Amino acid sequence: MKGTGYLIAAIVIVLAFVVWIYNGLVRARNRVDNAWGQVDVQLRRRYDLIPNLVETVKGYASHEKATFEAVVEARAASQAATTVESQAQAENMLTGALRQLFALAEAYPELKAAPNFQSLQQELAETEGKIAIARQIYNDAVLTYNNAVQTVPRNLVAALLGFRPKPYFEASGDERSAPQVDF
């Protein structure tokens, strides 16, 4: 009878340990999901600014159709992305297209001086900064989560319960330097 009591105690201890690990993994996963939500909020803010920016630039440089189309297509691709990896790739394309759009302002001094353009430019610069901060917070949460999922003994419980490493939201080489939006 004494051996059965020890066996039951050992099983209870192991189950409590598994529950403790599981709860920690769930908390880490929830932090990643919450951080991604913050990235998404800032990306949507940027998406909302883009149509106004394109329309403002069109008013001064209407014959730059290819640049406008590139921005609109990149914005649509970013909004349609369904995974972190595809979102990162689409965002890198969008950043490149926005750089081209802002480069147009150099050729159009009236555009550079337009109050609406300057206001949109400032809002976009602020949003880019917020995106960078949200991305950093997300990647920090992913690092913590991935460490939990990949280290012993948590990796055993994680594999058993279906926890998989999460991808980072990485900037391309071009995007590692923020787009120049002030003139």
In a domain, 139, yes or no: yes
In a domain, 178, yes or no: no
How many folded domains does the chain comprise?
1
In a domain, 147, yes or no: yes
CA torsion sign for 165, 170, 173, 176 is negative
Could you read off the pLDDT of 71-94 as tens digits, one per residue? 999 999 999 999 999 999 999 999
In a domain, 170, yes or no: no
Q: What is the pTM of this model?
A: 0.86
74 lies in which domain range?
Answer: 2-161
pLDDT for 1: 66
CATH code, domain with 133: 1.20.1440.20
pLDDT for 171: 76
Number of H helices, E strands in the chain: 6, 0
Distant-in-sequence, close-in-space partners of 52: CB < 8 Å, separation ≥ 6: 116, 120
